[in-house]
Structure 1
Amino acid sequence: MDLRAAGGGVMRLDIAFVTETFPPEVNGVAMTVGRLVGGLRERGHRISVVRPRQGQADLGGAHELALPGLPLPGYPGLRFGLPAGRQLARHWRQHRPDLVHVVTEGPLGWSAVSAARRLGIPVTSGFHTNFDRYSVHYGLGWLRPAVAAYLRTLHRRTRATMVPTAALAADLAGEGITGVRVVGRGVDTALFDPARRSSALRAGWGVPEAGLACLYVGRMAPEKNLALIEKSFAAIRSACPEARMVWVGDGPSAARLRASHADHHFAGTRLAEDLATHYASADLFLFPSLSETYGNVVAEAMASGLPVLAYRSAAAAELICDGANGHLAAPGDETAYVAAAIALAGRAERLPELASAARAAMLPRNWASVVERFESVAREAMLA
């Protein structure tokens, strides 16, 4: 296949993204897919999106195919797609893409892989969520082997599986998935910027100007290990009574957290500049999740000038230099995590130095280079 246009220019690609989630939905996968789709379109490629319909009136926007779906248990506002092999095959016979990229591995994604393979269209996939690990947190641990086997089978049927980190690539390769390619993730350093720090917002949180504001941003759900944030902040509060815990986000655990911590500040879901201002106005980011494939919030926090305390896993393992721009604990070592939280709170004079280093580490990590890498892997898969 010749991927160069007449005159030596780079040929425009026609790529169909198949995803269960897409902006304006708020989660890391939707944000990542939105960045990739937007970036590829800016580079002149024709990108279409296949996704579940959000309500009866949703017919999809330009270059979108909205198909039937069902609500995702525990995640209001999200839907998983139903099998649609025949409809996809009919659609792609009429408008044949050069490549199908399957973002999520639900029934819609599986049927997209099957339909594309039957039509001889190259297929790639993305690995964004550790669904097998999630099952443990929802009382379905007995399903984990079956879920893991399903995920492995789906990705083995694609020409390339794109992942955000080298560590995840090694894990998947070790499970027998071939064609794993590291594409990475970017962060918008113009949006997430320490300059957005707001004294007025901090005052609204009840934080004195020289006080300590601890922050969590993300889904409030069992798989995020939020109990360790509660434990860590209680230890911080014992050493620093004026410290304040701020939660940004929503989810199935939100009601319990609000009921248990009347002295914490719950900001709900925040978007765009409002979200960026919340990041920049805090002093320390607590993120003890062990279920991430990446964790975009770690990069966003660091770009905002926030030292991050996390386990040595996913994005944190790749982005944080322990003691230089944040702190890491060995995965699962809660004692070490809490001890690090106390140490950081007790040495507030070091936080500005860590904050500056965190910001500097994120400046080279732009989305343009990630989009270019995706395009390169897509072309490689088409030639395979």
Structure 2
Amino acid sequence: MKIAFFTDTYDPDINGVARTLKRFTDYLKNQDISFKVFAPKTDSSDYVTNHIHRFNSLSFFLYPECRLAFPNLPQIKSELEDFAPDLIHVATPFNIGLCGVYFAKKLNIPLVGSYHTDFDHYLQFYNLKFLSNILWGYMNWFHKPFKKVFVPSMDTLETLKRHGFTNLEIWGRGVDCELYHPYYDKLKVFKEYGVRKKYLLTYVGRLAPEKDVHTLLSIAKSLPPEINEQIQWLIVGDGPSREELEKEAPNNMIFTGYLSGNSLAEVYSTSDLFVFPSPTETFGNVVLESLASGTPVIGANSGGVKNIVQIGKTGYLCTPGDTQEFRDRILHLLANDSKRKQMSLEGRNYALSQKWDRIFDDLLWQYSSVMEEPKQQKFA
């Protein structure tokens, strides 16, 4: 099996799409399955390999981590003909994704895609909701040729069904439970960030309007003064809203910037609660990472997050944007040590069942079924 990926974001970009594709291509490499990635060139993508072909690009205004690339069509055609892929997988609906669709048709290569980002939900946070019908029209047109469209959660599948999408399949997400676990040194983390409070509450994610980070600030400011004195917030991530957030943030909020690897895992592990108000997640990788680390989640009852958090068992789900509901859930769990500990155990146990290899094995099976379709039709 040989697979060509067309994506407008890839490692070392820091977002769920890039991280998922990198993990999948690492898996393919370990399985000795040939692949080639067509992706944008970024300031930090200096690493050169025969597996990846990169193109000059500019950032996309609505989501700067996704790039608008300037692909060289004759070069792509030549590389594809030399590589002779059995399947093309398109991961994003921008320039490079369009190239993948075009060459799949032109060269008669089976085509699948994956839907990762709820751009329609983003529009309301940028005062662009009037573009919703145009966006859905484009998304339907773009995905229509795909033999299968892989989505990360049942919520996303149902949303796309309502908008007329077909050939939808669930492609879930796993978590590295060896990296993310509850057993890191809490004192080391507290010392590193100067934490002297009783409780550590954490947010991990892009600092941007679509993550509803302003609700996060409202939540932090709404907690009673006597409780706030015992809380330290760690805000992990970066993005266009960071400067504004830092100006408005209470004194007990530390902004760490992006973290990865052990540094990120340590923060999850030593936190008492993970607070995540984003209503726009198609999955919610950070939520699963928090559960793997034994940290209960208080998240928005929206998108893929509501398919991960088991209410009252691994955390709580709140009405998106409802500051009071988030505050009440935080106060409830901070006042109940035994409940938090039980949720910690349940969250870890759930994460242990979410194994990447099983998920990728299933995806390869789906690939095989698409590749066999023409043979079945010809035989019939």
- TM-score w.r.t. structure 1 length? 0.90
Partner of 2:214: 227
Matched AA of 1:277: E
Unaligned regions of 5+ residues in structure 1, if any?
1-12
Q: CA deviation at 1:290?
A: 0.9
- The residue correspondences of 1:159-308 to structure 2 (distance < 5 A) are 159-208=147-196, 211-240=198-227, 241-261=229-249, 263=251, 264-308=253-297
Q: 1:252 to 1:56 in 2, by over 3 A?
A: closer
Task: Describe the superposition over 1:9-37 as per-residue Cα deviations: whole angstroms up to 9, x where unpaired.
Answer: xxxx1000111111122111111001111
Distance 1:193 1:58 in 2: 31
Give the SS at the match of 1:359: helix
Following superposition, the deviation at residue 332 of structure 1 comes to 5.0
Q: Matched residue of 1:229: which SS?
A: helix
Instruction: Decide which of 316, 329, 336 is 2:305's aligned counterpart.
Output: 316
Instruction: Provide the residue aligned with 1:93 in structure 2.
Output: 81
Aligned counterpart, 1:6: none
Following TM superposition, by how much is the alpha carbon of 1:198 offset from its aligned partner in structure 2, in angstroms? Answer: 2.1
CA contact (8 A) 2:220 2:250 kept: no
* Distance across 2 between alignment mates of 1:169 and 1:178: 10
Decide which of 63, 85, 106 is 2:51's aligned counterpart: 63
Q: Name the residue aligned to 1:375.
A: 364
User: 1: distance between equivalents of 2:173 and 2:141?
Assistant: 25
Deviation at 1:287, TM superposition (A): 0.6
Deviates more, 1:336-345 or 1:301-310: 336-345
For 1:236, the aligned partner's letter is L
- The corresponding residue for 2:347 is 358
**CA–CA separation in structure 2 for the residues paired with 1:56 and 1:190:** 27
Amino acid at match of 1:121: I
Q: 124, 143, 167: which one pairs with 1:136? A: 124
Q: Which residue of 2 aligns with 1:329?
A: 318
Q: CA deviation at 1:208?
A: 4.0
TM-score (norm 2): 0.91
Q: CA deviation at 1:366?
A: 1.2
Any idea what SS the aligned residue of 2:223 has? helix
Equivalent pair of 2:6/2:38 in contact (CA under 8 Å):
yes
Following superposition, the deviation at residue 197 of structure 1 comes to 3.9
Give, in whole Å, the separation in 2 of the partners of 1:253 and 1:184: 29
1:194 partner SS: coil
Q: Aligned AA for 1:132?
A: D
> How much has 1:94 moved relative to structure 2?
2.6
> What residue in structure 1 maps to residue 17 of structure 2?
29
Q: How much does 1:383 deviate?
A: 2.0
Q: 1:104 aligns with which of 72, 80, 92?
A: 92
- Aligned mates of 1:173, 1:85 — CA distance in 2: 33
Cα shift at 1:226: 0.9
For residue 51 of structure 1, give the secondary structure of its aligned residue in structure 2: strand
Deviation of 1:218 after TM superposition, in Å, equals 0.8
1:65 alignment partner, SS class: strand
Structure 2: how far apart are the matches of 1:69 and 1:216? 30
Superimposed CA distance per residue, residues 304-338 of structure 1 (whole angstroms, 9 cap, x where no aligned partner): 11100012223322221111111112445444333
Aligned-residue offset at 1:154: 1.3
SS class of match (2:183): helix
Amino acid at match of 1:269: Y
Once the two structures are superposed, residues 179-234 of structure 1 have per-residue CA deviations (whole angstroms, 9 ceiling, x without a partner) of 1111210000000011114212224444447x111100010000001111112222
Return the alpha-carbon distance in structure 2 between the equivalents of residues 55 and 328 of structure 1.
38
> 197-206 vs 312-321, which deviates more?
197-206
The runs of 5 or more residues in structure 2 that have no matched partner are 374-380
Question: Contact 1:232/1:341 (CA < 8 Å) preserved in 2?
Answer: no
With over 3 angstroms needed to count, the CA separation of the structure-2 counterparts of 1:167 and 1:116, relative to structure 1, is same
Q: Specify whether residues 341 and 84 from structure 1 end up closer, same or farther in structure 2 by C-alpha distance, changes over 3 A only.
A: farther
Which stretch shifts more, 47-56 or 190-199? 47-56
Query: How much does 1:81 deviate?
Result: 2.2
CA contact (8 A) 1:249 1:269 kept: yes
How much does 1:83 deviate?
5.5
Relative to 1, partners in 2 of residues 1:202 and 1:80: Cα closer, same or farther, differing over 3 Å?
A: same
Structure 2 distance, partners of 1:260, 1:63, is: 44
User: Residues 184, 368 of structure 1: CA spacing in aligned structure 2 closer, same or farther, 3 A cutoff?
Assistant: same
Distance in structure 2 (CA, Å) of the matches to 1:205 and 1:345: 21
Using the TM superposition, name which of 239-248 and 137-146 deviates more.
137-146
Deviation of the 1:303 alpha carbon: 0.4
Q: Report the RMSD for the aligned CA atoms in angstroms.
A: 2.1
